Structure 1
Amino acid sequence: MLIHGHLVKGNDIDQETRCLHYHSEIDRIAIKFYCCDTYYPCFSCHEESGCNSAQVWPKDQFHQKAVLCGSCGHELTIDEYLSCKSVCSRCHKAFNPGCNLHKHLYFDV
């Protein structure tokens, strides 16, 4: 599905990147996976896509844009995302702070 001009793959995605697995009001990011250079709303959607080589973003790549705000389409660098306190720096919409519990699935932290 195209969301703000970016292809986001996953299971039952809405226009703000919510998916079958995470669909509360504040679930509005997609993460570009390092292994396949593709945005997914969550790790489970990525696994279901069949990519069998999941890799986390290495620390020396945290300057790369890899997090998409589903509300406004702003792409955050990994450094920006990890320090944004669960709020988009452009539109100020809240992100799910619970995603911090899963950041090790996406980033080398």
Structure 2
Amino acid sequence: MRGVAVDKQGRCSHYNSQRDVVANRCATCGTWWACYRCHDELADHPFGRMPLGELAAMCGVCGHEMTYAQYSARPQCPGCGHPFNPGCSLHAHLYFEVD
């Protein structure tokens, strides 16, 4: 997972609470990023939003990959149960083709 000052569970310099462990895949480059702000700082292209049916979110704790539907259906990882930050839903339009 790429980003700025990323720890072993995917927290970065922009989002680093206990629950900030979800990485998102950029549709343009196919790379997993800690957040869109990390992508904006390090990549040479805009963040490409992922189609809803593709694996687009990953738990930084256990590596479980999810589609948007799987990720948004639960407040925690379906693989390991680690809680996700509920505030991340405010950024769904940046990562996924939801609109």
Same fold, TM exceeding 0.5? yes
Q: 2:14 aligns with which of 21, 45, 65?
A: 21
The match for 2:82 is 93
CA distance in 1, matches of 2:35, 2:46: 15
The match for 1:102 is 91
Q: 2:39 aligns with which of 34, 38, 46?
A: 46
Displacement after TM superposition at 1:106 (Å): 0.6
Q: TM-score, normalised by structure 2?
A: 0.91
Q: TM-score, normalised by structure 1?
A: 0.84
Q: 1:63 aligns with which of 40, 53, 59?
A: 53
Displacement after TM superposition at 1:22 (Å): 0.3
Displacement after TM superposition at 1:100 (Å): 0.3
Higher share in strand: 1
4+ long deviations beyond 3 Å: none
Q: Secondary structure at the match of 2:56?
A: strand
| 8 Å CA contact 2:36, 2:94 repeated in 1 | yes
The match for 1:9 is 2
Displacement after TM superposition at 1:51 (Å): 2.9
**Structure 1: 5+ residue runs without aligned partners?**
1-7
**Paired residues, number:** 98
Q: 1:32 aligns with which of 25, 33, 48?
A: 25
Displacement after TM superposition at 1:82 (Å): 2.0
CA distance in 1, matches of 2:52, 2:45: 23
**Structure 2: 5+ residue runs without aligned partners?**
none
Q: Secondary structure at the match of 1:31?
A: strand
Percent of aligned positions that are identical = 39
